Structures are given as structure tokens and as C-alpha cells.
Amino acid sequence: MDAIVQLVRNAMCCVKDLQLFDDTFLYDPAYLAKFYRFPSPYMSKTTPLELFISLSQLYAAISCTRSGLKLIFTEGILKLKRLGRVAELLAKYPLSKDDDKDKAKDKKKVTKAIVNDSLIHEANSAFRNTMIGICVLPIGIAFFWLFANSLHITEAGTIGGLPALIHALTVMEIALLPLLYFMIKDGIAGIRKGSRIRSLTGKFVGKKQKDLSAEKWLSFETYTLIVQRDWSPFWSKSAFSNADVMAEGKMFEKEIESVEQNVKAKSSSSEDVILTEVAVGEIEGIAKMSVLEGQREFLYFVFNFIAFYGYLLGVIVYYFEEDVGTYKQPDFVRTLKFGYSNADADWGGNFAGDLMWTLEPIVILASPLIFKRMVESSNAGKKTKTD
């Protein structure tokens, strides 16, 4: 839903920037007056197009604020607190009571390593969510001033007027910087993960379980790829009440026993192979999907960097006026504007930002289907070649 609203919002902003359909009711304040009269002299200037934009900006303000709070607390701090409690349970829990002490020790070591790596994985995810939430929350709050500006409220000097709008844009720019960093980081992580997964197929395809001890091939990554791909332990979610916290001990025992049973099953000296040809195809599909998602993050970075730079020009031209009398605009400002006038740089930067944030949701909505078809066609091509 957020991506759809973003697409509609910024598409309407592009229409306004380019003055498309300027001979229609979209640009006629009198059309709104037929249904509701906004206060004069400022809000009465609001056109139907600006009203639609303002409503979508209000949605963004509410949605981003809510998402930011959820990322910080529900998917961040509360989750980290639960992970800390689970780590304490892991340190105390006797994982195996097997009669064969050596085998029991090996299974205990493997199981503990898998669970421990899962906790680390979830902790990294929770910390990342907290950092992203800290950035998303002020962006959501700043959207309120964009909503007010679309209704010409800032022109009246209320809620801080134009200076407050510029401050809100500045806050959005600052908050966007760490998000750009996370896009690059996630892009690199996705590509590396794909390469790492592909390397597993060469190591374990066709090899029998009896030929390798569990500790030599079972890890958190291989466990979630080969043994239990849909594994979603309870510590991947936050605890919201005292009842949830009280139940953690029993849930942990149940979860750890399930992992240990799977480790035991894969540790038996059976003739089963670790990876069949069918499983290899599925895993290679996961690897390709991970690479594509990593590359998509770099595309998001390009979109958002251009938007960041474009909207930044609006802030810069507010603080640095054109040459007037003895005042000369600094050279670095002229460079940032590519030599354009303040008015042209402001319009061009704003349009570039609106356009990039229109293209981004298109990619968000279309990429899952495109990636799925790319992976399926790739797997079908390999299967045909093999046959």
C-alpha cells in the first residue's frame, strides 16, 4: 500500500511540476469551492491537484511515523531484549542426553552453533531495524509540513511558515543519508550472499551424509537452506507482554529440541545425499534471487541519491540568494547548481526528486514478478541444457 501511495503521490507531483493538463479542473481552486470553502487568502488557493497531493503526503506522514516507531521498538529494542533473554537460556540449556558422550558432544556443539548464529543474525537485523526506524521517524514527521505546504498553510506563516518547511526538508535530507548507506550495504550483502550460496552447491552436491560429519557441513546457513528452509524461531519476533516472556522457557525448549532432532537426523550414517540435483536447482534459484535483490538495492540507491541531491538544491537556494549588489554567491553553490539560476535549480532539483520517487515504487511493485520469471527462466534453461 505504501508503494502504491508513493507512486500516486509523486506522479501527481510530476504532473504539477510539468503543468500537465493545465486546462482542466485540476488547477482550478474555484472547483473545490463548490464543495468546501477553504479560509482566505492562502488556503483558498488550493487546487484539486494540490488537495490530492496533500492527502497522500498526510498518509506518508502517518505511515512513516508509524513505521518508524514500529522499527525502533517492536522490531528493534523489544526484539533485542528478547534475544538477550534467549541467549541466557542457550547458555544454560543441556542440549543432549545421548548415551554416547562423544556423539552427544558433537551434536551439542553443532546445535548450539546453529542457534547461536541465528541469534546473532536476528540481533543484527534488530539493530538495523532500530537504526532505520530512527531515520524513518523524522521523515514521517517532516512530511506533515509538506502536507501543510500543499494546502498553502505555510504561506500564512502558521506552524513556522516557510522557515519551518525548509527545516523539515533539511531533517529529511539528514535522515536520508544513513538510509543511502544501508542501501549500499544491503546491495553488497545480497550479492555476497548469492555467491556464498552458490559455493555451497559445489561442496555438497552428490555427497553422502555419512561421508561428512555434521559439524563439517551443518551451519546456520546450510541449516536454513537445506534442512529447514522455512525455519522461523520464536525469537525472530518481539515479546509484547509478561505472558510472552514467561512462556519463553518452554518455547525455547521446544525450539531447541526440534533443531537438535534435525541435527541428529542429518548426523546419522545414512546413504542419503546432502544435496540432490533437484535441491541444487532450488538453491541456485535462491542465490540468483539474492543477487538480483542486491542489485536492486543499488538501483534504489541511484534513485534516492538523485532525489536527495535534487531536494537538497531547494534547501541550498533558500539559504544562498542570487548575486545582489556586493553579495556574491559562493563558488561551491554555483557548482552544486551546475551554473543554473536559483529558480531553475530549485525547479529542476524538485522535479528530479519527484521523478526518482515515482520510478522507485514502480520497481518495488514490478521487481518481485520480474525476478521470479528471471529465476524460473534461468532454471528452465539449465534444465534443458542438462537434458
Give tens-digit pLDDT for 26-80. Answer: 988 888 888 878 787 888 888 999 999 999 999 999 999 999 999 999 999 999 9
Q: What is the pLDDT of residue 293?
A: 94
Write down the pTM of the prediction. 0.87
Q: What is the pLDDT of residue 285?
A: 87
The three-point CA angle 108-113-118 to 5° equals 130
Q: What's the Cα-to-Cα distance from 130 to each of 126, 137, 178, 304, 368, rounded to whole Å?
A: 6, 10, 12, 20, 26
Q: What is the pLDDT of residue 269?
A: 55
Distance of alpha carbon 102 from the chain centroid = 44
Q: Which stretches in the chain have pLDDT values below 70?
A: 95-106, 206-214, 268-271, 273-278, 379-387
Q: What is the pLDDT of residue 99?
A: 46
pLDDT digits (tens, 9 = 90+) for 232-247: 999 999 888 888 888 8
Q: What is the pLDDT of residue 214?
A: 67
Q: Are 311 and 169 in contact (CB under 8 A)?
A: yes
Measured over the CA atoms of residue 307, residue 321, residue 153 and residue 44, the dihedral's sign is negative
Provide the domain limits for residue 334: 2-386
Measured over the CA atoms of residue 224, residue 228, residue 230 and residue 236, the dihedral's sign is negative
Distance CA 352, CA 358 (A): 10
Q: What's the Cα-to-Cα distance from 91 to each of 113, 154, 368, rounded to whole Å?
A: 11, 57, 40
Q: How many domains, the chain?
A: 1
Q: What is the pLDDT of residue 135?
A: 95
Alpha-helix runs per DSSP H in the chain? 2-18, 29-33, 48-69, 78-92, 101-150, 161-204, 214-217, 220-222, 242-246, 248-267, 277-319, 331-336, 342-386
